[in-house]
Amino acid sequence: MATSKVLGYLESSKNLAGGACGLLGLVLTFTGVAGPYWPVVVAGLYGAGALIAPPERPALPDFPSPSAQLDAVREDFAKLGGYLTDVDLPPALRTRLTELTDVLGALLEPGWVAEVLAQDPEAVHALSRAVRQDVPEAVDTFVRTRWWTRLAPGAEPPERHLERQLDLLRQEAERLAAELGETEARRQESHTRYLEDRGGNRNGELSA
């Protein structure tokens, strides 16, 4: 470990900058400027060079990119689909669940939509949370609660809660899709203004 530290310092910007300044001190020595104090001059210039050199910057952690995160969410969405297929749901709830998963699946579809999504880390996080936490937790809680209500009839139907949860999650997913669509619309408007400004500037140059 000590050897690696020494080698690391020898390759560092501080040592390189100090060595360059120390070399300048040797030049001053050979030209007679440093005089008998040349060791002090060389050492001082080396130290000054090492001090003014920028500090070494550790490499940033290699976190997965938003696109790579989307790939992982897409795999988990496939697993979620297998789980949801095995769950026994009333037809009305199955319809609502399908409406939700259709929106989530469309957002995760590989292609230009996913490319737009990958540019928004908050959107990727929201989609990941829906797939990995919100949907499975809502369905699993319903399954467990329904078993208890069968033992104690008269309690509030768990179907009502799951129906509301699925509606809220679908609205959230649709809102996310709408926001991404607005981002694309703003990009289109910006390109239109750019072309208009460019055309106006060119017309002004021609008239001049």
Give the pLDDT of residue 157: 83
Average pLDDT estimate for 91-96: 95
- Cα–Cα distance, 20 to 33 (Å, whole number): 17
How many Å is the maximal CA-CA distance in the chain? 103
| Total-model pTM | 0.64
Asked if pLDDT for residue 84 goes beyond 90, the answer is yes
Confidence of residue 183 (pLDDT cuts 50, 70, 90): confident
- Cα–Cα distance, 91 to 109 (Å, whole number): 26
Better-predicted residue by pLDDT, 62 or 124: 124
Give the pLDDT of residue 15: 53
CA angle 181, 185, 188 (to 5 degrees): 140
Asked if pLDDT for residue 75 goes beyond 90, the answer is yes
Name the range with the highest mean pLDDT among 52-56, 111-115, 152-156, 174-178.
174-178
